A and B are shown apart, each in its own frame.
Chain A
């Protein structure tokens, strides 16, 4: 239990707080409308459907406020930066921003369903009471209305208005339908299968959020849910509700007056909307800013990996961060994320781009056709944005796991360690690094093997050969490769990567690896960093919990994951 709290405690605490606020809002607003004296007559017509519509509305306000915050990347970077003092556990929560965004979205979907169903019932009940299908009081209440039509209760003002007509002629109804459609389209297009395979569909459809928020702000403007207002002398429903015929004639029971509730939603969402607009403005400013290519900048390796070395004024990066690149000559709208492979100590920043899709292929062909010595195509950069790997240097022992293309953030980490150790940087608290590299085939990553080779040489020259332990795991191998390896088994360097460390075949035995590290580093805090698939993440997260010991004399493993 203790080891579980160390790793997941804060995450679940945040979720519990979020859920508690949701529950509180729901219950509070439910009883506000279920018990409030202002709504006695409204409730008489609508029954509990009134509360069932208003309580989800309050929860929706809260969640619509939250949903924009986790996608403000620059804001998160800012928060991450200002929490530098406050420990890595808090910062770690910021990496789960997209999970939180999804969770809030699920809550919005659920509450929207409840809200709509309740309002369907409400519309039907208003319609029936206008037609006199209920008791005398309901009919009388529905018939109320002054000449200016401002103090009525029943929004269905004529006998010919059907529920459908009500919805399509009122602000609340019309905006409600539009934003629900926008929400449904956004949800269906962000299902895993669409998001992963047809990102453009997801990306462009998700911009319906503009429609969603515009509609949301005006949704309450129609003031369609009406409560009783004070009159002089006061009209007390508890006394007057059985003397409908006497209303207005008797001293104590004047004709009741009603008014709509003040629209509140815009107050909830205006803050995050402004923040998001700033975010997009910043992105636009960065789109306009110019980026220079470094002189020897474009290196096409045999496996079609493009290395871009770029320079930009005022650009300051940290290890393992990523940038969004936009190449207007390919597409004005598409921003693609790339992890930077350079160290903060270098005066430029670099990305390695592998040909993996339309955009990257086009970029590579554009670069290939460039005349010698020419500058690359115009490029805009948004970022840098932080991820978990920034915290590597906070742990005394770091265990880095990169799977496939997931080695890229660690390229930056390793380079930076190299620079730091060269300068004997006192800030470097890391004493030992374990690096695991799992991949199906290495030939796409020669550039990374190059980097490791350089590091290996440097480390040995400086007599810190045991600072970095790395293990390579080749998960996809065949017989011919195995034979090749057997033949060269007694050579000093590995046949595939040319590194001192021999490649392992198959997947690592994590239990063994964790046990070994736990044995060697008692008293230490080990940061485990993964950049790789979700399946591996859940395995590693479990192992981290399993091998963490609450006993301060034993090893603790903290799990960090990088998202793609």
Chain B
């Protein structure tokens, strides 16, 4: 089974929290709940978390499965460099984002989930994991097929046994083998 990469679970958890936060926010805003401003915040935070977490990172070992259409998100997230690469940063971002969600019932579930995701990310960071983008591999591994042979063979069959081989006297340089016995042209 190998070493557990906690970041993979953290990623699933954070993405789910983003969706829950977003849903809670939408409910809060649509229902015009008391303190709905927190819900509006949760909508924005939910969208941000989803965008950040949608591109799945590369696994250290084994094949990494991309989420559907994550390529353009990967490029965006990758462009932030160390900010998105480092899981400590992610853990703190999520921990920070989740706090205002705790002030309103509709967003409290998203807040706690994101908090858990942040803890798992922290565990991942402590274990030295970091985010690597999944980029399409360049298909250079395949060996180039040798060029097809388009010249006639220099020494076509049928070939005589080695000791019987002799070059044609008319074209001594053109033959591919060495004469086992010296020959001369018929006189």
Residues of A within 8 A of B (CB): 113, 116-117, 120-121, 123-124, 127-128, 162-164, 167, 177, 180-181, 184-185, 187-189, 191-194, 197-201, 357-359
Q: Is B105 an interface residue (CB 8 A)?
A: yes
Give complex CA distance A520, B24 in Å: 62
Contact check, A357 vs B1: say whether CB atoms are below 8 A apart: yes
Q: List 5 A-B contacts (CB under 8 A).
A: A162-B105, A188-B13, A193-B8, A197-B8, A357-B2
Q: Please tell me if the beta carbons of A198 and B8 are within 8 angstroms of each other in the complex.
A: yes
A124 touching B33, Cβ below 8 Å: yes
Inter-chain contacts of B20 with A (CB < 8 A): 184
Q: How far is the CA of A482 from the CA of B185 in the complex (A)?
A: 45
The CB with the most chain A CB atoms within 10 A, among B2, B33, B62, is that of B33
Chain A residues whose C-beta falls within 8 Å of the C-beta of B56 in the assembled complex: 193
Are B59 and A121 within 8 A (Cβ)?
A: no
A164 to B8, CA, bound (A): 32
Q: CB within 8 A of A358: which of B1, B5, B12, B23?
A: B1
On whether A188 and B16 interact (CB within 8 A), knowing A124-B33, A181-B112, the answer reads yes
**At the interface, yes or no: B116 with Cβ under 8 Å from chain A?**
yes
Chain A interface SS verdict (over half): helix
Inter-chain pairs besides A117-B27, A177-B108, A198-B8, 9 sampled, C-beta below 8 Å? A117-B23, A120-B24, A167-B105, A180-B109, A188-B9, A193-B65, A194-B9, A198-B9, A200-B4
Complex Cα gap A117–B65 (Å): 32
| B1–A164 CB distance below 8 A | no
- Least Cβ–Cβ distance between A117 and chain B, in angstroms: 5
Contacts of B104 in A (CB 8 A): 164
Once the chains are docked, how many angstroms separate the CA of A121 from the CA of B12? 28
B34 at the A interface (CB under 8 A) = yes
A127 to B105 Cα, complex, angstroms: 12
Please report the C-alpha to C-alpha distance between residue A113 and residue B20 in the assembled complex, in whole angstroms.
9
Task: Kindly state whether residue B136 has any CB partner on chain A within 8 Å.
Answer: no
Whether A113 contacts B113 in the complex (CB less than 8 A), given A194-B8, A198-B4, A357-B2, comes out as no
Asked if B8 contacts A127 (CB within 8 A), the reply is no
- Residues in A neighbouring B2, C-beta threshold 8 A: 357-358
User: Is the beta-carbon distance between A124 and B109 smaller than 8 angstroms?
Assistant: no
The answer to whether B158 has its CB under 8 Å from any CB of chain A is: no
| Closest Cβ neighbor of B104 among chain A residues | A164
Shortest Cβ distance from A177 into B: residue: B109
In the complex where A184-B16, A358-B2 touch, is A123 in contact with B8 (Cβ < 8 A)? no
Q: Which residue of A lies closest to B6 (CB)?
A: A201
Given contacts A188-B9, A193-B56, A194-B9, A120 and B4 within 8 Å (CB-CB): no
Select from chain A the residue with minimum beta-carbon distance to B65: A193
Complex Cα gap A303–B16 (Å): 43
- Do the beta carbons of B108 and A164 come within 8 Å of each other? yes
Query: A164, B9: Cβ atoms under 8 Å?
Result: no
Least CB distance from A364 to B in Å reads 15
Closest beta carbon of chain A to B15's beta carbon, Å:
8
Look across to chain A and name the residue whose beta carbon is closest to the beta carbon of B35.
Answer: A162
Instruction: Say yes or no for B106: interface residue by CB 8 A criterion.
Output: yes
Within 8 A of A (CB), among B26-44: 27-28, 31, 33-34
A184-B20, A357-B1, A357-B2 in contact; A120/B8 too (CB < 8 A)? no
Q: Are A194 and B12 in contact (CB under 8 A)?
A: yes
Judging by beta carbons under 8 Å apart, are A197 and B62 in contact? yes
A193 to B24, CA, bound (A): 27
Q: Is the CB of B1 within 8 A of A185?
A: no
User: Bound complex: CA of A188 vs CA of B20, how far in Å?
Assistant: 12
How many Å from the CB of B173 to the closest CB on chain A? 34
Residues in A with CB closer than 8 Å to B5 are: 197-198
Known contacts A124-B33, A164-B104, A167-B105; is A185 also within 8 Å of B13 by CB? yes
The 7 closest A-B pairs by CB, nearest first: A163-B105, A188-B12, A357-B1, A188-B13, A198-B4, A124-B33, A120-B106
